[in-house]
């Protein structure tokens, strides 16, 4: 079975309306029994003519006429917030810098983990798939301070230190 061709900007605008302030897509055209005219199309994934797209990619196409490559980043880290002011083009490395601390992080700080040496903390950061060791520290707070400084230096506006 062949994958349907990608939707064009013109066809997207015939089928859906994108509200750039709210980030919502609503159906302009009824394309199936499950679709209500004016109904919200979806906030993370939207199926258009047999192909599923990420809503932020459709927003980028709708507004610019191009696919967001290499990727689209949500400034606030919320994948459901597709308002135009919240979207920006990013590299994979920049997009990764804008993620929140993982829940299972034992130190409580992004970029910080305990060392094998008792009472010591290690800071590290990744860029373009490479880990950069930032040093070992006496406290997790000191390690995190090193991480924050490196994140701001390496990623600028994409840095999310928390």
Residue 133 pLDDT class (50, 70, 90 cuts): very high
1 is a domain residue: no
Shared domain check, 106 and 64: no
pLDDT band at 112 (very low <50, low <70, confident <90, very high): very high
* 21 and 79 in a common domain: yes
Q: State whether 122 and 77 are in the same domain.
A: no
CA 73 vs CA 70, 101, 145: distances in Å: 10, 16, 25
* Residue 86 shares a structural domain with residue 14: yes
Q: 20-49 pLDDT, tens per residue?
A: 999 999 999 877 777 788 899 988 999 999
pLDDT tens, 73-87?
999 989 999 999 999
Residues 146 and 114 in one domain: yes
19, 83: one domain: yes
- Same domain as 31, residue 82: yes
Domain boundary residue, one of 37, 61, 90: 90
Residue 95 lies in a domain: no
Which CATH number characterizes residue 150's domain? 3.30.730.10
* Helix spans in the chain (H): 9-15, 55-64, 92-97, 140-155
**Residue 17, in any domain of the structure:** yes
Which residue range is the domain that position 128 belongs to?
101-158
Asked if the model's pLDDT at residue 135 lies above 80, the reply is yes
- The count of domains in the chain is 2
pLDDT given for residue 117 in this prediction: 80
Angle ∠(81,83,86) on CA atoms, nearest 5 = 80
pLDDT band at 92 (very low <50, low <70, confident <90, very high): confident
């Amino acid at each position: 079975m062949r994958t349907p061709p990608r939707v064009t900007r013109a066809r997207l605008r015939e089928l859906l309306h994108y509200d750039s302030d709210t980030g919502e897509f609503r159906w302009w055209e009824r394309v199936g029994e499950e679709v209500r005219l004016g109904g919200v199309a979806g906030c993370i994934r939207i199926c258009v003519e047999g192909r599923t797209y990420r809503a932020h990619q459709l927003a980028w196409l709708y507004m610019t006429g191009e696919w967001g490559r290499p990727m689209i980043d949500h400034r606030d880290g919320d994948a459901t917030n597709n308002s135009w002011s919240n979207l920006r083009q990013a590299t994979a490395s920049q997009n990764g810098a804008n993620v929140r601390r993982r829940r299972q992080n034992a130190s409580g700080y992004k970029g910080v983990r305990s060392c094998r040496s008792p009472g010591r903390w290690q800071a590290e950061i990744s860029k373009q798939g490479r880990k950069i060791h930032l040093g070992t520290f006496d406290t997790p707070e000191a390690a995190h301070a090193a991480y924050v400084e490196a994140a701001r230096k390496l990623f600028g506006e994409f840095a999310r230190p928390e």
